[in-house]
Structure 1
């Protein structure tokens, strides 16, 4: 995810971590996972922030061999290489 306890709050880091999380969850077999919006609670007195990011992975999916009906642009081997 790229964010560790004690890291400063940085919107760019949070957005990049969220994108990485979505990619990794999909690569792990959950292509329809839903990642919620980040919720950040800042406690100025304690000088801390809490990040909450919900993930609903949905059901796992397993895909087999890719078959192309029309391979004029890309063949099945190429599509398999670029597939998630």
Structure 2
């Protein structure tokens, strides 16, 4: 069963031009199920992706802390924010 990560286009902006067209499958070795299709990334591309994920996590943590300090349920606030963005 593939998850949302099976959409390798989500990561193409992080890859070098020469590698952007190449993808590989990530398979659960115990079941053989496809877990994801991911782009072939150079080590520097992986580092860049990790740095961006770290920055996003820090930003999210700050937003959730702010919600808690203002006595707002962080999950409800996040849900409402994502709904506004989607619409």
What is the TM-score with the length of structure 2 in the denominator?
0.30
Greater helix proportion: 2
Higher strand share: 1
Higher relative contact order, structure no. (Cα contacts within 8 Å, ≥ 6 residues apart)? 2
User: Which protein shows a greater Rg?
Assistant: 1
